[in-house]
Amino acid sequence: MTRVWTDFLPQQEVERVVPARSDGVEFGMEALARVAVSGAEAVSAALDSLPELYAEWRRGQEGMMTGLAPRRLKTGQALLENVDTAGSRIRDGIDLLKRDTVAREAFGLMNTAMAMANRRREAVIQKKLPGDVDPPTWRPFQLAFVLLNLVGVTDRNSGEREIVDLLFFRPAAARAYLGLAAYAIVLRRLRGSGVLGAGISVIMRYTLRLLTPLVSSARSNSCGPMMTMAGRRLANGRSRLDSG
């Protein structure tokens, strides 16, 4: 190093991250809603390959550890253990959808609501009718995040309820946690009618004042379509959905 300098306004060009795709996994929201209605075998055909793809990526990461210094190798091994845990949780989430009809229905309704929200948002951006925009899809990490949290959200006795998952992927992380929030809200009402299905399901809090418009965006883009959908599908005396 021959020079040291400072910048008053430092800048860094960050390359766009492009998610990998696979023909063996269904990422379409509306397609997944139909899968949920079709049953366990359809869920298996649509999602079983996702943990396998994750395991393949993990093997590639392990291969990159060759030649690392002992301290870095220890860190890498700890990270791979976390990857193994996440892969197991994703697989458990898929298995839950296969055996639990209520969870599967909630998953389908969540995908319907998220698809409605995404179509409405893209229609405004593209100046088209909602039905004319491309079918909305999940990014792989978004769908994986939803699946790995399904057991903890669904099973009140699960040890995963003690886990706090931090998802940092700007700016697309919001869709993942909004999808999981929609699942939790719908699941609560499917499990109990009237006051048994009522109560607060999700609390969203943005600590930075400049981010508070995102809360309004979440309410309009996700909660609105979810309430519309819920009015059609969650009737029969179940508690209505609301946000505030």
Quick: pLDDT tens for 69-110.
Answer: 999 999 999 999 999 999 999 999 999 999 999 999 999 999
DSSP 8-state code for residue 162: G
Mean pLDDT lowest among 60-69, 94-103, 136-145, 174-183: 174-183
- Domain ranges, ordered by start, for the chain: 29-233
Instruction: Please state, as a whole number, how many other Cβ atoms lie within 10 Å of the Cβ of residue 151.
Output: 20
- Which residue has 């300098």 as its token pair? 5
Predicted pLDDT at 207? 61
Nearest-angstrom CA–CA distance, 29 and 18: 19
Predicted pLDDT at 229? 56
- Give the percent of the chain with pLDDT over 70: 82
Q: Of 242, 234, 236, nearest to 105 (Cα)?
A: 234
Quick: pLDDT tens for 176-226.
Answer: 888 998 899 889 888 877 677 777 888 777 665 555 555 565 655 555 556
Percentages helix, strand, coil for the chain, rounded to the nearest 5?
Answer: 65, 0, 35
Nearest-angstrom CA–CA distance, 1 and 15: 26
Predicted pLDDT at 79? 95
